[in-house]
Chains A and B, each alone.
Chain A
Amino acid sequence: MNNPEPENFGAHSRRTFFKSLGTVAATAATAQVRSVAAELEKANAESVIGPGAVPVTLKVNGEKLKLTLEPRVTLLDALRNYSSLTGAKEGCDRATCGACTVLLGDTPVYACQKLAIEAQGYEITTVEGLAKKGNLTKVQQAFLQKDALMCGYCTPGFLMSVTALLRKNPKPTADDVKHACAGNICRCGTHPRILQAALSAAGVATASKTEVVNYV
C-alpha cells in the first residue's frame, strides 16, 4: 500500500525541512504573542480545524513553543521534528516501547500516541527539562552511578517513568518500580540496573541481588 506521507525532501533532512516551515520558538517576553489561554480557547472551541496546518502552542519545559502544525502531527513529531527537542526518542511509534515517554503535568504518557494539538494547555516535560541549570536530578545521577544504560536510547523514557513514579510514590518497592516501568523496553537489557538506580534515587535500600537480577 502506498504511504501517503512525503518522506523525501531532497537536500533537506526531514527535520531541517520541517523546522524551516515556520516554527517559531517564542518566549513569554515576545510582544504580541497571544496568551496561551486565548490560544487554548481557540484550539478547543467547538470548531472544525485542519486538515491544513494550524497554530499550536505547547508549553515545554517551562517555555512556550508556537508552532504551526497539521492536526495529525503527534506530540513526539512536534517535539523532535518541529522543535529541537530530540530527547524523547522514537522507537516503535505504536505505544509499545516507551522511548517517547514525556510528562503531561506529573503524568507519564507516550508522546507518539497523542496529537500535539491535544497536548496544549499542559505543562509538558521532556528529558531536557529535568536538569535545572545543568544540575542533574537525583534520578539522573542514580542512573549514572548505577551505570543504568548501555546505548542510551531507552534512557530518556525510563528517566521520565522513574521521575513520575517517585513524585507519586517517593518510597517505592521493587515491584512498584517494575510496574511503573513495564511500558519501557530496553533492548540492551539494562533493566536490573535501572531498578537499582530507581531504588537508590528514592533512598530505598537496594533490593536483594536475586530480586534485582530476576527482573521480569
Chain B
Amino acid sequence: MPKLNGGEIIIESLKKENVDVVFGYPGGAVINLYDALYNSKMKHYLGRHEQGVIHAADGYARSSGKVGVCIATSGPGGTNLVTGLANAQMDSIPLVAFTGQVSSSLIGKDAFQEADITGISLPVTKHNFLVTDIKDLARTIKEAFYIARTGRPGPVLIDLAKDVTQAVAEFDYPDQVNLPGYRPTFEGHKLQINKAAKAINEAKKPLLYVGGGAVISGAQSEIRQMVEKAKIPITTTLMALGIYPEDQDLALEMLGMHGTQYANKATLETDLLIAVGARFDDRVTGKLDEFAAQADIIQIDIDPAEIGKNLDVEVPIVGDVKKVLKELLPYIKEKENGEWQQRIKELKEKYPLQYEADESETIKPQYIMEEIDKYTKGDATIVTEVGQHQMWAAQFHKYKKPRQFITSGGLGTMGYGLPAAIGAQIGQPEEKVVLIAGDGSIQMNIQELGTAQAYNIPVKIIIFNNKYLGMVRQWQEFFFDKRYSSTKIPAPDFVKMGDAYGIWSKSIDQKSELDTALKEAMEHNGPAILDVHIPEEENVYPMVPAGAGLKDMIGG
C-alpha cells in the first residue's frame, strides 16, 4: 500500500468520492493540504472570503446534485464558514467542509488561530468530526461523505489537526461505512402506502404539496405521473419550483406567504393534502390550525422527525420520495376529478398573479423577470439573493425543471446569491446562470466578483436596485406606519464597482433600454452586471402577514 501524507490522503479520498471540484481559502493550518493540491489534478477555486467559498460549494451542490466540498483554515477560516453551514443545514444541502485545526498537542491551549469549530458548528451541521490521528483520516472522510449525501442530506465538517495533514500513513480507503447509529429509511411501509393509495383514490379534491425533498430525491418523473394519472393539482414550496412545469394547467406554482392566491385558496378547499418532501414551514402554512383545515394529510418524508413535527398527519410515510411514489403509483387509479379540475381552472382565472403594469418608462421588477424568462426561453438557472427580488424571481418566471431555481430558503441568507451563482455555474457549465440580486444583499459578499472575474465565470448579475432593504421596508410600510428605520441604503456605483473588477457592467433606468441591455449582458462572453433601477417602494403581492391564516391574503 502506498504511503501518503495527510494532505495527499485527503486528495486521494476525494477522488474516491468522485469529487473533481473543491472551493477553498488557504492558511497556516491547512498549508499541507494546499501543498498536496498543488501537484494534484483536483480543480480548486479560490474564493475571496470563506463565507463565499462555502456558499459557492452549496450552489455547486444544488445545481449539480453532487456533494459540495470546501476548505478553510483554522480559527477565523472556520468561523467564517458558520453561516454557510447553517444555510446548508436548513435547506438539507450535502456539503463536506474541511477545516484546519492547530496541532493536536496545542488543542485547548488557546494557540494561535485556535477556535473550537466542532463545538461552534455542532448545531449547524448534520454531523462533525475532529481528526487527531492520521489512522482515522480516510475512514472519517468516507463516513462524512456518506452522512452528507444519504438520508436527509446536510453539511458535515471535518476538523483536521495540523499534524494529521503532515503525518504519513498507508492509504487504504474503506469500501463500506460502519455507522451502527445511522440507518436512514428509504423504503416506505407497504401498509402505509396502501392507505395512501386508498385515500388518494377516494379523495374528491386532492392536492399535491411538493417540497425540496422531491428535488433531492430526483423524483420529477414520478411527480409528473402522480399529477397526470389522477389529475391532481400541484403546488410547490420555494424549494421545489420547477419540479413540475409551471406552465401546465394543473400547476398552481408556489404556496405560502408570497404564494399565488390560487395555490393558497386550493389549500383551503382541498380534502386531501399530499405532502411530498415538504416540511410545513411557517412561511408556507401561516397560522397552523387554519392550514388545510378541511383536509386529511398524507406526508412522505425521509426524516421521521419531520412527520407530525408541526401538524398532525393521518397517513405518515417515512421513506425516499422517489421510492415511495414508485411503489404508490401502480395503486393510483386514473381519474379525471372533473369538478375539482374545473374549480382549479376557475381559481387560476379569477385570481391570477399580477402587478400594476403601466406605459411609463419605469422598470417594474416583475416585468424584468418576465423578460428574462422570455429571453432565456425559460431555460436559465435562476439564483437569487434574499428579499423582495427573491420573491419576484419566484413568482414571475415559469420554472420548468428541478434545480432551475437556487435560493436560500430556510435561513434566508443575504449574501448567499453571488457566491452560490458562481458555484451553480461551475456545477452546470452548459447552463445559462442568472443571479437576481438585491442592491442590499449583493453588498454582503460583493468581494466574490473577484472570483467570477478570475475564473471568467459567465454569471449574469441582474441587480434589482430599489435603494432599500426592500423586504424589511415593506414590513415597515405595512405594519410600522412607514417608519423606515434603517432600511434606506445608498448603493455604490455598481458600474464602477464592476469596472474595478474588470467585469462588463451597465446601469439602466428606462424600460425601453431593458431589452438591449439584457441581450448585451446575456451575450457577453464572461460575467456581467446589469444594474436596473426599479421603483423604490414597489411591494411583493400577494402577502399573508406573518402568523395569519392563508385566507387572509393582502393584495394581488
Q: Do A and B form a real pair?
A: no
